[in-house]
Structure 1
Amino acid sequence: MMLRRTLKMSRYPEFEAHSDFDWDEPLWPREVDYDPSRHASNNAHRFLCARDDHARLICSDGDLYTLTGNNTYELMTDAQVQSEIRQTDKEVRLDITKLGLMVREIKIARSVSARPFEWINARDDAPSPNDLILANNGIFNVATDELMDLTPDYFATGVPDWAFDREADCPMWKSKLGEWLEPSFHPTLQEWFGLNLVPDTSFEKIAAMIGASRGGKGTIKGVLEQLVGRHHRASIMLNDLAGDFGLQAMIDKRLMIIPDASDTELSKRSMALERMKSISGNDAVSVNRKNKAMLSEVRIPAKITLLANKHPKFIDESGALAIRELVFVFDRSFAGKEDLTLKARLTDELPGIANWAVEGLKRLRRNGKFTIGERGRVAQEQLTDSQSPALRFTKECLSTTGDESDVLPVALAFDAYREWADRESLSMRERRNRSDFKDDMIAALRARGVRYATNQIRWHDPHLSKLGNGERVRARFVGLKLKREFHPELLSP
């Protein structure tokens, strides 16, 4: 980072002839009096003392950040810091080994516990980071409706391009939403936009925008990206999210876009599913970083928005992902009718769209849950069924009672399941062996009062003769019954 004096002698001609001061000399980097005979720590502190007059350095999770002119922090690589040290050592008194050791000392000396979107130095009366929205002209506190100045004490790694304006409106945006989405989706989208402006992850939700190409999904995504700002958004494919370093770029992001969620390798879907559940569930995860130390106990602040013409074929018998998803269905396509001026016009409305989003965030927090219309509820139920073959099988072939007197042997249930799987033409990836079938059923039905038992009992099949003492049964589901019309022994040949 090079800082130059902006004051020119030509503005002060009366001094020009009498001053030998070089007004074009950069403020930083400038010569530092290093002592090569001293250890690297001593020289590192000489560098920091000189640099602190111009720009603060901090180290978070082993990465160095420099304070910029607008009171945000910019990531610096080790090589950039070494280059800056070299520029302050014009006589080349420090060898390459000392440069590396100096960077290590700088990281130790300037280490902070804060991560992006947290206070570095928090006053006792500092507002909660979860209430703070970054704008080009300051930090808006949702809790107090106050616009604060950007400060070096708050760890912001950038700001969006729009400026906060209390009076701004967005008539074009509201009009276009009416064309793209059925009205019952609008409050949900408004609340989702508002939540993406703050680092609050307590609501544990994911947005899924599913439907026709050229139906408005891409434009909505683009507006959301602009609101959050280029520094705090990332676009990633599901294949990459499932990779070794899939979380590395997400530590300082508020928005994670998965732009083509249906395009995923089968072998990576399970890992992608688990990572989406961990991020949306606000779980502390380990983050593997290329050529850097792994981070542990990290909560990714990003909210996930995925876009697809059809939803990825995840298998999640627990239903955890489907329960967290806010599904937005786009029924109409505007292919061939695209408005090429729309992006620019919506960009002009960003301050108004931000106000609209803030209203949604406030309503979300008042209610404590998302406003989901009938279309959204139906879409979520359909998604739950599609991700859980066990639930689909249960709804069609079984009766869930939760009653201790209702018993279904696993062997009989599995025979009925295989008949059903053949009729449904389930793929080999979707089919389960007996052990996995049992586990999937319990995962899908535990919350509905169904449990698994293994102690031996005598059991009479309620659909067949009750002569004798009954069959000895161990492995069984309790609280579940098989519908007569799906009994394997009673099916028509």
Structure 2
Amino acid sequence: MNADTACNFGDRTAIVDDQTYRVGLVLGSEAPTSRSHNPLPLSWGNSPLISGCPPERERSTCPVWDSFMSSIWPEDEEAVRALQEWMGYVLSGRTDLQKIFMLVGPPRAGKGVIGRILTALVGRKNVCGPSLASLATDFGLAPLVGSSLALVSDARMRKDSQVLVERLLTISGEDTVAANRKYKEPWIGKLPARLMLMTNELPRLGDASQALAKRFLIVSMTRSFVGNEDTGMEGRLRAELAGIFNWALDGLDRLDERGAFVPPLSSLEDQEVMDDLSSPVAAFLTEELVEVPGERVSTDAVFDRWRMWRDRNGHSPTSKSGMTKDICAARPHLKSVSQYDPDIGRNRRFFNGVRLASRVRAAAGEV
């Protein structure tokens, strides 16, 4: 079998150029009963796994891929299962779970190989490779039109980009977008591309509400193969594309049954860091303010504490009004209201229901 001809029959169907193909149990002779009445629409105009050769007796497996997964996550089956479900989700063509997948880890950890194998499964013509920076440009959405996967291998950002945050939320949220294209009319519609980031470090994406950070499904990688690269690994994996395809669809079955992705426990720390990077003010609120019914604190006092916390943690300066706006986005129930202050004999703005944490407790991370 080669990359141009692969047998794939079973109980799932793919719709390509208005033609229906049976796919799913690649090289398999038995179809899973769980999908006997649940066709799976796949948009694979160039997938190497759409063909019409007769099924063989044995269901294709992927022992080299399984070994590769074990070498990356030797004691983290949850991470492997999360990747498996994501790859099945990408193959399914679905966007309804509104997630952005992120592989984060050191150089030479296997991110690129995983991305190229998924590209081979989906089909190169169905994959685009923007950078985060390019997505924020005028024509940044154009490559995503007609793509089923946007593979972002450069997730570095020199500065926060509100345009980028809005676009990532719009794409992952299945909203209608207007994609500007050079010398063409703007394309208007819902982009089918799933977003997958592969990065050595977590990006800083400013969003005080943390709505974008919650969209990410992060899978962390800790092992680097620098100095121990297996240059023949990718070739051996490509010989198992049919089996990896089956492996991914097994993950899709599990995802369908559960109805949602489950983040690996090993990635929770990175998720917390991502939350803090996206919304420093949310981290500030957790560390420096305590919610106490009946109490209040002036916005001036909060801003003084915020400036000290911001400088201590290396965040960019913001105005008092900017801080107040971000606090209201991070904690919608906290409102800045004008109230009389007997200490100064006039009105000033307060946050009600909170007080400042004691300096000792805040410094110790206890509130």
TM-score range for the pair, normalised by the shorter chain length: 0.7 to 0.9
Q: Give the structure 1 partner of residue 334 of structure 2.
A: 451
Tell me whether 1:207 sits opposite 2:76 in the alignment.
Answer: no
Q: CA RMSD in A?
A: 3.4
Q: Per-residue CA shift, 1:300-341, capped at 9, x if unaligned?
A: 111111111112222111111211111121111111211111
Aligned mate of 2:180, from 288, 292, 300: 288
Deviations 1:404-428 (A, max 9, x none): x2322211111111121222232xx
Taking a change above 3 Å as real, the CA distance of residues 302 and 417 of structure 1, as seen in their structure-2 partners, is same
Distance verdict in 2 for CA 1:484–1:471, change over 3 Å: farther
Q: Distance in 2 between matches of 1:471 and 1:183?
A: 63
Unaligned runs of 5+ in 1: 1-116, 149-153, 459-467, 489-493
Deviations 1:179-212 (A, max 9, x none): 1123321111111111000221110111111111
1:225 aligns with 2:116: no
Q: Match for residue 434 of structure 1? A: 320
Which residue of structure 1 lines up, in the alignment, with residue 10 of structure 2?
none
Secondary structure in 1 matching 2:335: strand
- Indicate the structure (1 or 2) with the bigger Cα radius of gyration: 1
- Measured in 2, the distance between the counterparts of 1:312 and 1:366 equals 32
Counterpart contact for 1:136–1:159, Cα < 8 Å: no
1:323-338 superposed matches below 5 A: 323-338=214-229
1:263-274 counterparts in 2 under 5 A?
264-266=157-159, 269-274=161-166
Gap regions ≥5 residues in structure 2: 1-13, 363-367
User: What are the equivalent positions in structure 2 for 1:27-66 lying under 5 Å apart?
Assistant: none
SS of 1:353's partner is: helix
Question: Which whole-Å deviations, capped at 9, do the CAs of 1:435-490 have from their partners, x for residues lacking one?
Answer: 110011111122xxx321424245xxxxxxxxx788655422233221122799xx
User: For 1:453 and 1:265, how far apart are their aligned partners in 2?
Assistant: 32
Q: Per-residue CA shift, 1:217-255, capped at 9, x if unaligned? A: 111111111111112111111222111111112121111
Which shows bigger deviation, 362-371 or 159-168? 159-168
Return the alpha-carbon distance in structure 2 between the equivalents of residues 349 and 157 of structure 1. 19
Letter in 2 for 1:161: P
Q: 1:168 aligns with which of 49, 60, 63?
A: 60
Q: How many residues align?
A: 339
Tell me which of the two structures has the higher relative contact order, counting C-alpha pairs closer than 8 angstroms and 6 or more residues apart.
2
Q: Distance in 1 between matches of 2:250 and 2:243?
A: 11
- The answer as to whether partners of 1:364 and 1:371 remain within 8 angstroms in 2 is no
User: In structure 2, how many angstroms separate the alpha carbons of the residues matched to 1:169 and 1:157?
Assistant: 22
SS at match of 1:377: helix
Q: Does 1:351 align with 2:242?
A: yes
Q: What SS does structure 1 have at the residue aligned with 2:195?
A: strand
Q: Distance in 2 between matches of 1:365 and 1:209?
A: 22
Give yes or no for contact 2:26–2:245 (8 Å, CA) kept in 1: no
1:318 counterpart (182, 187, 209):
209
Is 2:366 the counterpart of 1:477?
A: no
Q: What corresponds to 1:385 in structure 2?
A: 276
Q: Does 1:425 pair with 2:322?
A: no
The one-letter amino acid paired with 1:233 is V
Task: Identify the residue that residue 114 of structure 1 maps to in structure 2.
Answer: none
Structure 2: how far apart are the matches of 1:411 and 1:282?
Answer: 40
In 1, Cα distance between the equivalents of 2:343 and 2:142?
62
Q: Percent identity?
A: 31
Distance 1:486 1:415, change over 3 A: farther
Distance apart, 1:392 and its partner CA: 1.7
Q: Distance in 1 between matches of 2:100 and 2:43?
A: 24
Summarize the Cα distance change of 1:132–1:146 in structure 2 as closer, same or farther, 3 Å threshold: farther
Counterparts in 2 of 1:156 and 1:364: CA distance versus 1, 3 Å: closer
Question: For the residues of structure 2 that align with 1:322 and 1:180, how far apart are their CA atoms?
Answer: 25
1:160–1:147 distance in 2 versus 1, CA, 3 Å: farther
Q: Does 1:255 align with 2:255?
A: no
Is residue 411 from structure 1 mapped to residue 300 from structure 2 by the alignment? yes
Aligned to 1:4: none
Residues 178, 288 of structure 1: alpha-carbon distance in 2 compared, 3 angstrom cutoff: same
TM-score when normalising by structure 1: 0.62
> Counterpart of 1:70?
none
Deviation, structure 1 residue 172: 1.3
What does 1:107-122 align with in structure 2 at a 5 Å threshold?
none
Asked if the contact 2:43–2:93 (Cα under 8 Å) also holds between the matched residues in 1, the reply is: no
Instruction: Tell whether the 8 Å contact from 2:219 to 2:264 is kept in structure 1 after alignment.
Output: no
Matches within 5 A, 1:191-206: 191-206=85-100
Q: Which residue in 1 is equivalent to 2:286?
A: 395
SS in structure 1 at match of 2:212: helix
The amino acid that maps onto 1:190 is: Q
Quote the residue 1:79 is aligned against: none
CA distance in 1 between partners of 2:254 and 2:175 (Å): 25
The question of 1:307 aligning with 2:198 is answered yes
- Code of the aligned partner of 2:330: A
Change (3 A) 1:348 1:399: same
